[in-house]
Chain A
C-alpha cells in the first residue's frame, strides 16, 4: 500500500506543513516575547518615571530653598503655570512651526520616493548622483539655512526649504538602501519564475524597502523640526524658535522653559505619528522586529 503512494507528493506536503509550522512558531514566539516585554516594560517604566519625578521635586525644592531668581531658573510649578497662562501664544507659535515642519517633511517624502526609484532603476544615474548626494550630505545644512534666509526673507518659505533639505537625505538614502539591499537568492527566485522587472520591483523591492523607509521617515521628521527651529533662530517673525529667541532676549526664562516644553511635546508628537503609521502600515515587520533602532538627532 505504501508502494502506491506518490512519493514526491508526500515530500511536498510535508515540506509545506513544515515551513508553515516554522513560520507560525516564529510568529507565536515573537508575539509572546512582545507581550512579555510589554508587561515587563510597564513595570520597568516605573523606574524612569520615578527618577524624573524625583528630579522635578529636587528642582522645585532647590529653587525654593536656595531662592534662585526666576530669570536664572524658574521652578517647574512656575513653568507649568506659564504654559497654561500663555497657552494661546504658545499654541499660535507651535502651529507656525508645525506648518513649516510638516510641509517641508511632506515635500521631502514626495520628492525622495521618485528619486530613489530612478536611482535604483538606472545604474548611470546612480553612479552620477549617489556620490554627490553623499557629499552634499556632509555639508552642515544648518549653515545653508542662513543663505535661504538671505534669499527668501523672513517668511515661512525658507524654513520649509530647510526642513525639506534636512528631512530629504535620511529618507532618500534609506529608501535607496531598502530598494537595493535584497538577498540575491530572492531575486534569483523571482527571475526563475519569470517575473518581469516591474513585477519583482512591486512585489519584492518595494515591500523590502518599507522598513528602511520608515527608519528614514522617523529620523526625517525629527530633523525637519530641528531645521524649522534653527531657521527660526536665524530670522523669523513667528514659530517656537522665534519665541525662544524672543524670550531669550528679554531674559524671560520662564517663557523660554515653557516654550522648550511645548517644543519637546511637538517633537514627540511628530515622532509618534510616524511610529504609529509604521505600526499600522508594516505591522508584519514591526511584530517580527527584535529591537528598536535608535535614532540620533541633533
Chain B
C-alpha cells in the first residue's frame, strides 16, 4: 500500500508542476507589467498589494461573505426540497410530467438571473429576495438532473423487479432512488455554484450587505484593491461550497464516486 501511495504522490507532484509554474509565470508577468508600464494602483494593483489588501480587510470580507453564504445555503436548501418533491411527483404521474416538464425545460434555457430585479421590487433589500433568486437558479439543474435520474433506469432492471413481483413503491425506493442519486449530486454541485452567483447578482441589483454589495461599493469607489480581494473571497467560497457538496456526495454514494472514471464539467457564469 505504502509504495503505491508514494508513487501516486510523486505522479501528482509532477502533474502539479506545470500549472504551478504557469501560475508563477503569470504572477511574474503581472508584477513586471506594473513595474515596466508603471501602472497606478487604482488601475491594476500588484499581486503583493492585493494579497496584503485581502488580509488587512479579512474581517470586512468575512462578515459580508457570511451574508452571501447564508443566502446561498438557504436558497440551495429550498431548491433541494422543492426539486426533490416536484421530481418525484413528475416521475410518478405521466400527466403532470407532460404538463410541467416542458415548461421547466423552456425556462431552463432563458437568462434566469435577469429576473433578479423583480424579486427586489417585491421583497425589498433584505435577505429574502436573494434567497429566492438563489433558489430560482439552483432549482433547475437539481430538478432536471433528479428527474433524469429517476426516469432513466434501464428497462431490464424494471423488468427484473416486475418479474420478482416488486410493488411500484418498492421499485421506486430500491431502484429508482439509488439510480437517481448520482444525477442528483451532479445537479447539486452545479446548483451550489449557481446559487452563489444568484445571490451575488441579487446583491448587485439592490442590497446593503454581502460580497456582491462589496463589489458594487468597490466599483463605485474605484477601489480595485477591494475588488480583487472580493474576487479572492468569492473563489474561496465557491471552491468551499463545491468541495462541501463533493464531500457529501463522496460519503453518500461512495459506490458511485469510486467507479466514476471522469469528473463532470460545469460551466457557470
Q: Which residues of A contact B (CB under 8 A)?
A: 44-45, 47-48, 50-52, 71-72, 124, 127-132, 135, 137-144, 146-147, 149-151, 166, 169-170, 173, 177, 219, 222-223, 225-227, 229-230, 233-235, 240-241, 244-245, 247-248, 251, 253, 256-257, 260, 263-264, 267-268, 271, 294-298
Contacts and interface: CB of A to CB of B under 8 A. Distances in A.
B169 interface: no
8 contacts: A44-B98, A47-B102, A48-B102, A138-B238, A177-B265, A230-B204, A245-B117, A257-B118
Interface of B: 15-16, 18-19, 21-23, 26, 43, 95, 98-103, 105-106, 108-115, 117-118, 120-122, 137, 140-141, 144, 148, 190, 193-194, 196-198, 200-201, 204-206, 211, 215-216, 218-219, 222, 224, 227-228, 230-231, 234-235, 238-239, 242, 265-269
A250 B204 CA distance: 17
A142 B26 CA distance: 21
A244 B15 CA distance: 46
B204 A233 contact: yes
Contacts of B216: 146, 234
A135 B19 contact: yes
A51 B99 contact: yes
A141 B197 CA distance: 9
B121 A253 contact: yes
A51 to B, nearest CB: 5
A139 to B, nearest CB: 5
Contact of A146 (B144, B205, B218): B218
User: In terms of DSSP, what is the predominant structure of the interface of chain A?
Assistant: helix
A132 B265 contact: no
A298 B148 contact: no
A173 B215 contact: no
Nearest to B235: A139
Given A128-B22, A143-B234, A298 B102 contact: no
